[in-house]
Structure 1
Amino acid sequence: MDEIKNKVLKTYNQKIQTLFICIGISILSGVTLLTTLLTMAIVPVKSNILLKVTLPTVIALVIIPVILAKLINKPDKVFLKWNEKELVISCIAICIFSGLYYVFNGTKFGEVTILFLLAHYFIAAFSEEFLYRHIILNELLQSWNVFFSALLCGLIFSLLGHIGDSPLDNLLYRFPLGVFFSIFRLKTNSVLYTSVIHAFYNLLLIIG
Protein backbone atom coordinates (compact mmCIF):
# COMPACT_ATOMS: atom_id res chain seq x y z
CA MET A 1 0.00 0.00 0.00
CA ASP A 2 2.80 2.42 0.90
CA GLU A 3 4.53 1.64 -2.39
CA ILE A 4 1.39 2.49 -4.36
CA LYS A 5 0.90 5.65 -2.32
CA ASN A 6 4.49 6.74 -2.93
CA LYS A 7 4.15 6.05 -6.64
CA VAL A 8 0.97 8.12 -6.87
CA LEU A 9 2.58 10.92 -4.89
CA LYS A 10 5.66 10.86 -7.10
CA THR A 11 3.51 11.03 -10.25
CA TYR A 12 1.52 13.92 -8.79
CA ASN A 13 4.70 15.81 -7.88
CA GLN A 14 6.08 15.29 -11.39
CA LYS A 15 2.90 16.70 -12.91
CA ILE A 16 2.98 19.77 -10.68
CA GLN A 17 6.71 20.29 -11.27
CA THR A 18 6.25 20.06 -15.04
CA LEU A 19 3.34 22.49 -14.95
CA PHE A 20 5.34 25.04 -12.95
CA ILE A 21 8.30 24.68 -15.31
CA CYS A 22 6.03 25.50 -18.26
CA ILE A 23 4.45 28.43 -16.43
CA GLY A 24 7.91 29.70 -15.52
CA ILE A 25 9.12 29.47 -19.12
CA SER A 26 6.09 31.43 -20.33
CA ILE A 27 6.51 34.12 -17.66
CA LEU A 28 10.25 34.44 -18.34
CA SER A 29 9.58 34.80 -22.07
CA GLY A 30 6.90 37.41 -21.36
CA VAL A 31 9.18 39.46 -19.12
CA THR A 32 11.97 39.22 -21.70
CA LEU A 33 9.60 40.33 -24.46
CA LEU A 34 8.40 43.34 -22.48
CA THR A 35 11.96 44.31 -21.55
CA THR A 36 13.28 44.05 -25.10
CA LEU A 37 10.26 45.90 -26.53
CA LEU A 38 10.82 48.77 -24.09
CA THR A 39 14.53 48.77 -24.85
CA MET A 40 13.96 48.93 -28.60
CA ALA A 41 11.39 51.70 -28.10
CA ILE A 42 13.92 54.00 -26.43
CA VAL A 43 16.87 53.20 -28.69
CA PRO A 44 17.54 56.47 -30.56
CA VAL A 45 17.71 54.97 -34.03
CA LYS A 46 15.23 54.94 -36.88
CA SER A 47 13.87 51.43 -37.27
CA ASN A 48 10.93 49.46 -38.63
CA ILE A 49 8.56 46.86 -37.21
CA LEU A 50 11.06 44.05 -37.82
CA LEU A 51 13.62 45.64 -35.53
CA LYS A 52 11.29 47.12 -32.91
CA VAL A 53 8.79 44.25 -32.58
CA THR A 54 9.85 41.15 -34.51
CA LEU A 55 13.39 40.94 -33.11
CA PRO A 56 12.23 41.17 -29.46
CA THR A 57 9.64 38.48 -30.21
CA VAL A 58 12.27 36.11 -31.58
CA ILE A 59 14.61 36.80 -28.65
CA ALA A 60 11.90 36.20 -26.04
CA LEU A 61 10.03 33.27 -27.59
CA VAL A 62 12.80 31.39 -29.38
CA ILE A 63 16.30 32.32 -28.21
CA ILE A 64 15.56 32.51 -24.46
CA PRO A 65 13.72 29.12 -24.37
CA VAL A 66 16.58 27.52 -26.32
CA ILE A 67 19.15 28.87 -23.86
CA LEU A 68 16.96 27.80 -20.94
CA ALA A 69 16.59 24.28 -22.35
CA LYS A 70 20.36 23.99 -22.63
CA LEU A 71 20.82 25.23 -19.06
CA ILE A 72 18.46 22.59 -17.65
CA ASN A 73 20.10 19.90 -19.77
CA LYS A 74 17.26 19.42 -22.23
CA PRO A 75 18.87 20.56 -25.51
CA ASP A 76 17.17 17.74 -27.43
CA LYS A 77 13.79 19.31 -26.68
CA VAL A 78 14.40 22.45 -28.72
CA PHE A 79 15.53 21.31 -32.15
CA LEU A 80 13.02 20.97 -34.98
CA LYS A 81 13.18 18.55 -37.88
CA TRP A 82 11.25 19.38 -41.03
CA ASN A 83 10.74 17.00 -43.91
CA GLU A 84 10.66 18.05 -47.55
CA LYS A 85 6.88 17.64 -47.90
CA GLU A 86 6.26 19.83 -44.88
CA LEU A 87 8.52 22.58 -46.20
CA VAL A 88 7.07 22.49 -49.72
CA ILE A 89 3.44 22.60 -48.57
CA SER A 90 4.15 25.43 -46.13
CA CYS A 91 6.10 27.47 -48.69
CA ILE A 92 3.38 27.09 -51.32
CA ALA A 93 0.67 28.08 -48.82
CA ILE A 94 2.67 31.11 -47.67
CA CYS A 95 3.37 32.26 -51.24
CA ILE A 96 -0.27 31.95 -52.33
CA PHE A 97 -1.63 33.64 -49.21
CA SER A 98 0.98 36.42 -49.28
CA GLY A 99 0.34 37.10 -52.96
CA LEU A 100 -3.41 37.40 -52.46
CA TYR A 101 -2.96 39.43 -49.28
CA TYR A 102 -0.63 41.82 -51.09
CA VAL A 103 -2.98 42.24 -54.05
CA PHE A 104 -6.07 42.96 -51.95
CA ASN A 105 -4.45 45.02 -49.20
CA GLY A 106 -1.40 46.61 -50.80
CA THR A 107 -3.07 49.98 -51.31
CA LYS A 108 -4.61 49.93 -47.83
CA PHE A 109 -1.34 49.54 -45.95
CA GLY A 110 1.17 50.65 -48.56
CA GLU A 111 3.33 48.32 -50.64
CA VAL A 112 6.39 48.49 -48.40
CA THR A 113 4.47 48.36 -45.12
CA ILE A 114 2.53 45.27 -46.12
CA LEU A 115 5.75 43.40 -46.87
CA PHE A 116 7.01 44.22 -43.37
CA LEU A 117 3.65 43.14 -41.91
CA LEU A 118 3.74 39.81 -43.71
CA ALA A 119 7.31 39.15 -42.59
CA HIS A 120 6.55 40.15 -39.01
CA TYR A 121 3.40 38.07 -38.62
CA PHE A 122 4.93 34.94 -40.12
CA ILE A 123 8.02 35.21 -37.91
CA ALA A 124 5.96 36.10 -34.82
CA ALA A 125 3.57 33.19 -35.41
CA PHE A 126 6.47 30.76 -35.73
CA SER A 127 8.02 32.16 -32.54
CA GLU A 128 4.79 31.65 -30.60
CA GLU A 129 4.29 28.15 -31.98
CA PHE A 130 7.89 27.25 -31.24
CA LEU A 131 7.48 28.24 -27.60
CA TYR A 132 3.98 26.97 -26.88
CA ARG A 133 3.39 24.09 -29.29
CA HIS A 134 6.96 22.81 -29.27
CA ILE A 135 8.79 23.65 -26.04
CA ILE A 136 5.89 23.87 -23.59
CA LEU A 137 3.61 21.23 -25.14
CA ASN A 138 6.45 18.70 -25.33
CA GLU A 139 7.36 19.42 -21.72
CA LEU A 140 3.76 18.90 -20.59
CA LEU A 141 3.57 15.60 -22.46
CA GLN A 142 6.38 14.28 -20.27
CA SER A 143 4.02 14.12 -17.28
CA TRP A 144 0.47 14.74 -18.50
CA ASN A 145 -1.68 12.83 -20.98
CA VAL A 146 -2.51 14.26 -24.40
CA PHE A 147 -5.89 15.71 -23.37
CA PHE A 148 -4.61 17.63 -20.36
CA SER A 149 -1.41 18.64 -22.16
CA ALA A 150 -3.42 20.30 -24.94
CA LEU A 151 -5.74 21.89 -22.38
CA LEU A 152 -2.95 23.22 -20.17
CA CYS A 153 -0.95 24.43 -23.16
CA GLY A 154 -4.03 26.34 -24.35
CA LEU A 155 -4.46 27.92 -20.93
CA ILE A 156 -0.82 28.95 -20.62
CA PHE A 157 -0.87 30.34 -24.17
CA SER A 158 -4.06 32.34 -23.66
CA LEU A 159 -3.69 33.56 -20.08
CA LEU A 160 0.07 34.04 -19.73
CA GLY A 161 1.10 34.47 -23.36
CA HIS A 162 -1.49 37.25 -23.76
CA ILE A 163 -1.58 38.54 -20.20
CA GLY A 164 -1.86 42.14 -21.37
CA ASP A 165 -5.08 41.48 -23.29
CA SER A 166 -8.65 41.17 -22.03
CA PRO A 167 -9.02 38.06 -19.80
CA LEU A 168 -12.48 37.46 -21.29
CA ASP A 169 -11.14 37.57 -24.85
CA ASN A 170 -8.32 35.27 -23.82
CA LEU A 171 -10.74 32.67 -22.47
CA LEU A 172 -13.34 32.99 -25.23
CA TYR A 173 -11.04 33.20 -28.26
CA ARG A 174 -7.38 32.51 -27.54
CA PHE A 175 -7.91 29.54 -25.22
CA PRO A 176 -9.91 27.53 -27.81
CA LEU A 177 -7.37 28.55 -30.45
CA GLY A 178 -4.53 27.44 -28.22
CA VAL A 179 -6.16 24.05 -27.70
CA PHE A 180 -6.86 23.73 -31.43
CA PHE A 181 -3.26 24.57 -32.35
CA SER A 182 -2.02 22.05 -29.77
CA ILE A 183 -4.23 19.27 -31.13
CA PHE A 184 -3.37 20.14 -34.73
CA ARG A 185 0.34 20.06 -33.92
CA LEU A 186 -0.02 16.68 -32.25
CA LYS A 187 -2.01 15.28 -35.18
CA THR A 188 0.39 16.56 -37.84
CA ASN A 189 3.56 16.53 -35.72
CA SER A 190 4.36 19.84 -37.37
CA VAL A 191 5.04 23.18 -35.72
CA LEU A 192 5.49 24.62 -39.20
CA TYR A 193 1.89 23.89 -40.21
CA THR A 194 0.49 25.46 -37.04
CA SER A 195 2.77 28.47 -37.54
CA VAL A 196 1.40 29.03 -41.04
CA ILE A 197 -2.23 28.74 -39.90
CA HIS A 198 -1.51 30.97 -36.89
CA ALA A 199 0.00 33.64 -39.15
CA PHE A 200 -2.92 33.45 -41.60
CA TYR A 201 -5.36 33.93 -38.72
CA ASN A 202 -3.52 36.95 -37.29
CA LEU A 203 -3.13 38.59 -40.70
CA LEU A 204 -6.83 38.17 -41.44
CA LEU A 205 -7.69 39.70 -38.06
CA ILE A 206 -5.96 43.00 -38.82
CA ILE A 207 -8.01 43.52 -41.99
CA GLY A 208 -11.29 42.33 -40.48
Structure 2
Amino acid sequence: MTRQQIQVIWLSISLIIIASIIYSLGLATLFFSPSNELQLFYQVSLLFFMPLGFVVVPCWISNKNDLCNSQVLVQFNWKSFVILAFIIYMVNGLFLHSEEYFPQMVIAICEEYLFRSLIYRILRTHFAPLWAILIGSFLFGLLLHMNYPLLDNVFVRFPLGLLFSGLTLRFGLQYAIAGHWIFNLIQSIL
Protein backbone atom coordinates (compact mmCIF):
# COMPACT_ATOMS: atom_id res chain seq x y z
CA MET A 1 0.00 0.00 0.00
CA THR A 2 1.37 3.41 -0.95
CA ARG A 3 1.70 6.39 1.33
CA GLN A 4 -1.06 8.23 -0.57
CA GLN A 5 -3.43 5.28 -0.11
CA ILE A 6 -2.77 5.21 3.62
CA GLN A 7 -3.36 8.97 3.75
CA VAL A 8 -6.77 8.79 2.05
CA ILE A 9 -7.81 5.99 4.41
CA TRP A 10 -6.79 8.12 7.39
CA LEU A 11 -8.58 11.13 5.90
CA SER A 12 -11.72 9.03 5.57
CA ILE A 13 -11.40 7.78 9.15
CA SER A 14 -10.88 11.38 10.32
CA LEU A 15 -14.06 12.53 8.59
CA ILE A 16 -16.00 9.69 10.24
CA ILE A 17 -14.60 10.62 13.66
CA ILE A 18 -15.43 14.31 13.12
CA ALA A 19 -18.96 13.40 12.00
CA SER A 20 -19.46 11.17 15.02
CA ILE A 21 -18.18 13.79 17.46
CA ILE A 22 -20.42 16.53 16.06
CA TYR A 23 -23.44 14.20 16.12
CA SER A 24 -22.65 13.05 19.67
CA LEU A 25 -22.27 16.63 20.87
CA GLY A 26 -25.64 17.37 19.33
CA LEU A 27 -27.25 14.44 21.09
CA ALA A 28 -25.64 15.61 24.35
CA THR A 29 -27.99 18.60 24.22
CA LEU A 30 -30.75 16.13 25.14
CA PHE A 31 -29.42 16.16 28.71
CA PHE A 32 -30.58 19.77 28.94
CA SER A 33 -34.04 19.22 27.48
CA PRO A 34 -37.19 18.94 29.57
CA SER A 35 -38.22 15.30 30.01
CA ASN A 36 -41.68 15.96 28.56
CA GLU A 37 -40.11 17.37 25.36
CA LEU A 38 -37.42 14.72 24.85
CA GLN A 39 -38.77 13.44 21.52
CA LEU A 40 -39.02 16.96 20.07
CA PHE A 41 -35.51 17.86 21.23
CA TYR A 42 -34.19 14.58 19.79
CA GLN A 43 -35.71 15.33 16.38
CA VAL A 44 -34.44 18.92 16.35
CA SER A 45 -30.99 17.80 17.47
CA LEU A 46 -30.94 15.06 14.83
CA LEU A 47 -32.14 17.43 12.10
CA PHE A 48 -29.42 19.96 12.88
CA PHE A 49 -26.38 17.99 14.04
CA MET A 50 -26.58 14.94 11.76
CA PRO A 51 -26.40 16.99 8.52
CA LEU A 52 -23.83 19.30 10.10
CA GLY A 53 -21.56 16.42 11.12
CA PHE A 54 -22.11 14.02 8.23
CA VAL A 55 -22.59 16.40 5.30
CA VAL A 56 -21.75 20.08 5.86
CA VAL A 57 -18.45 19.85 7.76
CA PRO A 58 -17.04 16.87 5.77
CA CYS A 59 -17.96 18.62 2.49
CA TRP A 60 -16.34 21.82 3.67
CA ILE A 61 -13.15 19.97 4.68
CA SER A 62 -13.14 18.01 1.43
CA ASN A 63 -13.70 21.07 -0.76
CA LYS A 64 -11.21 23.22 1.14
CA ASN A 65 -8.49 20.58 0.74
CA ASP A 66 -9.51 19.28 -2.71
CA LEU A 67 -9.80 15.70 -1.41
CA CYS A 68 -12.32 14.20 -3.85
CA ASN A 69 -11.69 12.72 -7.26
CA SER A 70 -13.57 15.23 -9.42
CA GLN A 71 -13.88 12.72 -12.27
CA VAL A 72 -15.86 10.27 -10.12
CA LEU A 73 -19.49 11.29 -10.03
CA VAL A 74 -22.17 9.78 -7.83
CA GLN A 75 -25.62 10.11 -9.38
CA PHE A 76 -28.65 11.36 -7.45
CA ASN A 77 -32.14 11.86 -8.87
CA TRP A 78 -34.61 13.93 -6.84
CA LYS A 79 -37.66 12.61 -8.67
CA SER A 80 -36.70 9.01 -7.90
CA PHE A 81 -35.94 9.98 -4.31
CA VAL A 82 -39.39 11.53 -3.81
CA ILE A 83 -41.07 8.45 -5.30
CA LEU A 84 -38.99 6.15 -3.09
CA ALA A 85 -39.77 8.28 -0.02
CA PHE A 86 -43.49 7.99 -0.79
CA ILE A 87 -43.22 4.21 -1.24
CA ILE A 88 -41.34 3.91 2.07
CA TYR A 89 -43.98 6.09 3.72
CA MET A 90 -46.71 3.76 2.46
CA VAL A 91 -44.82 0.59 3.46
CA ASN A 92 -44.20 2.06 6.90
CA GLY A 93 -47.83 3.13 7.31
CA LEU A 94 -49.30 -0.17 6.10
CA PHE A 95 -46.85 -2.74 7.45
CA LEU A 96 -44.08 -1.47 9.71
CA HIS A 97 -45.85 1.17 11.84
CA SER A 98 -42.54 2.64 13.00
CA GLU A 99 -42.65 6.04 14.65
CA GLU A 100 -39.13 6.65 13.34
CA TYR A 101 -39.98 7.53 9.70
CA PHE A 102 -38.49 11.02 9.74
CA PRO A 103 -35.45 10.39 12.01
CA GLN A 104 -34.47 7.31 10.01
CA MET A 105 -34.74 9.30 6.78
CA VAL A 106 -32.32 11.92 8.10
CA ILE A 107 -29.90 9.25 9.34
CA ALA A 108 -30.00 7.33 6.04
CA ILE A 109 -29.48 10.45 3.92
CA CYS A 110 -26.56 11.71 5.99
CA GLU A 111 -24.75 8.39 6.41
CA GLU A 112 -25.19 7.40 2.78
CA TYR A 113 -24.00 10.78 1.54
CA LEU A 114 -20.89 10.60 3.72
CA PHE A 115 -19.98 7.01 2.82
CA ARG A 116 -21.34 6.34 -0.68
CA SER A 117 -20.61 9.78 -2.10
CA LEU A 118 -17.93 11.70 -0.22
CA ILE A 119 -15.73 8.95 1.24
CA TYR A 120 -16.09 6.85 -1.92
CA ARG A 121 -14.86 9.78 -4.05
CA ILE A 122 -12.00 10.46 -1.61
CA LEU A 123 -10.92 6.81 -1.70
CA ARG A 124 -11.18 6.81 -5.51
CA THR A 125 -8.34 9.35 -5.68
CA HIS A 126 -5.90 6.47 -4.98
CA PHE A 127 -7.92 3.24 -5.15
CA ALA A 128 -9.69 1.28 -7.87
CA PRO A 129 -13.51 1.19 -7.58
CA LEU A 130 -13.64 -2.26 -5.95
CA TRP A 131 -11.10 -1.34 -3.29
CA ALA A 132 -12.87 1.96 -2.60
CA ILE A 133 -16.14 0.05 -2.11
CA LEU A 134 -14.52 -2.55 0.17
CA ILE A 135 -12.69 0.00 2.31
CA GLY A 136 -15.70 2.35 2.53
CA SER A 137 -18.01 -0.54 3.45
CA PHE A 138 -15.54 -1.75 6.07
CA LEU A 139 -15.38 1.74 7.59
CA PHE A 140 -19.18 1.98 7.50
CA GLY A 141 -19.77 -1.45 9.00
CA LEU A 142 -17.07 -1.58 11.62
CA LEU A 143 -15.95 1.95 12.47
CA LEU A 144 -19.14 3.99 12.29
CA HIS A 145 -21.18 1.28 13.99
CA MET A 146 -18.58 0.17 16.52
CA ASN A 147 -21.15 0.53 19.31
CA TYR A 148 -22.89 -2.59 17.95
CA PRO A 149 -21.66 -6.18 18.42
CA LEU A 150 -18.71 -7.04 16.18
CA LEU A 151 -20.41 -10.07 14.61
CA ASP A 152 -23.47 -7.95 13.71
CA ASN A 153 -21.16 -5.47 12.03
CA VAL A 154 -19.18 -8.12 10.15
CA PHE A 155 -22.19 -10.13 8.99
CA VAL A 156 -24.86 -7.41 8.64
CA ARG A 157 -23.52 -3.86 8.37
CA PHE A 158 -20.42 -4.57 6.27
CA PRO A 159 -22.45 -6.54 3.67
CA LEU A 160 -25.10 -3.80 3.76
CA GLY A 161 -22.33 -1.30 3.01
CA LEU A 162 -21.38 -3.39 -0.01
CA LEU A 163 -25.04 -3.58 -1.10
CA PHE A 164 -25.59 0.16 -0.66
CA SER A 165 -22.40 0.87 -2.62
CA GLY A 166 -23.61 -1.35 -5.44
CA LEU A 167 -27.01 0.35 -5.45
CA THR A 168 -25.36 3.77 -5.55
CA LEU A 169 -23.05 2.98 -8.43
CA ARG A 170 -25.65 1.07 -10.45
CA PHE A 171 -28.82 3.10 -9.85
CA GLY A 172 -27.94 6.26 -7.90
CA LEU A 173 -27.49 7.39 -4.31
CA GLN A 174 -31.25 7.64 -3.77
CA TYR A 175 -31.58 3.83 -3.90
CA ALA A 176 -28.86 3.34 -1.27
CA ILE A 177 -30.64 5.89 0.92
CA ALA A 178 -33.93 4.03 0.44
CA GLY A 179 -32.36 0.67 1.31
CA HIS A 180 -30.67 2.10 4.38
CA TRP A 181 -33.89 3.85 5.42
CA ILE A 182 -35.97 0.66 5.14
CA PHE A 183 -33.35 -1.32 7.07
CA ASN A 184 -33.33 1.28 9.86
CA LEU A 185 -37.14 1.36 10.01
CA ILE A 186 -37.26 -2.42 10.35
CA GLN A 187 -34.59 -2.26 13.06
CA SER A 188 -36.59 0.41 14.90
CA ILE A 189 -39.56 -1.93 15.39
CA LEU A 190 -37.62 -5.05 16.40
TM-score normalised per structure 2: 0.85
Q: Give the residue type in structure 2 aligned to 1:58.
A: P
Bigger CA radius of gyration: 1
Q: Give the residue type in structure 2 aligned to 1:103.
A: L
The residue that corresponds to 2:88 in the other structure is 97
Distance 1:158 1:125 in 2: 14
Q: Are the equivalent residues in 2 in contact too, given 1:66–1:75 (CA < 8 A)?
A: no
TM-score normalised per structure 1: 0.78
Distance 1:71 1:81 in 2: 22
Residue-by-residue CA offset, 1:111-165 (whole Å, 9 max, x unaligned): xxx3xx2111111101000100111011111111111111100111011111222
Distance 1:96 1:17 in 2: 40
Percent identical pairs in the alignment equals 21
Distance 1:97 1:24 in 2: 32
SS at match of 1:206: helix
The residue that corresponds to 1:42 in the other structure is 31
Question: Equivalences for 1:143-158 in 2 at 5 Å?
Answer: 143-158=126-141
The residue that corresponds to 2:150 in the other structure is 167
Q: Give the residue type in structure 2 aligned to 1:200.
A: I
Distance 1:119 1:76 in 2: 32
Distance 2:138 2:46 in 1: 24
Q: Are the equivalent residues in 1 in contact too, given 2:138–2:158 (CA < 8 A)?
A: yes
CA displacement at 1:105 relative to structure 2:
4.9
Compared CA separation, residues 43 and 59, structure 1 to 2 (3 A): farther
Q: Are the equivalent residues in 1 in contact too, given 2:22–2:53 (CA < 8 A)?
A: yes
CA displacement at 1:67 relative to structure 2:
2.1
CA displacement at 1:182 relative to structure 2:
1.4
SS at match of 1:133: helix
Distance 1:75 1:151 in 2: 17
For 2:7, which of 10, 17, 41 is the aligned residue?
17
The residue that corresponds to 2:48 in the other structure is 55
Residue-by-residue CA offset, 1:175-204 (whole Å, 9 max, x unaligned): 11111111221222x222211111011112
Compared CA separation, residues 76 and 15, structure 1 to 2 (3 A): closer
Q: Does 1:72 align with 2:65?
A: yes
CA displacement at 1:167 relative to structure 2:
1.7
Q: Kindly report structure 1 stretches of 4+ aligned residues shifted beyond 4 Å.
A: 74-77
Backbone CA RMSD of aligned residues: 2.4
Question: Equivalences for 1:169-184 in 2 at 5 Å?
Answer: 169-184=152-167
Distance 1:100 1:17 in 2: 42
CA displacement at 1:52 relative to structure 2:
3.2
Distance 1:16 1:196 in 2: 31
The residue that corresponds to 1:88 in the other structure is 79
CA displacement at 1:81 relative to structure 2:
6.3
Q: How many residues align?
A: 184
The residue that corresponds to 1:137 in the other structure is 120
Q: Give the residue type in structure 2 aligned to 1:51.
A: V
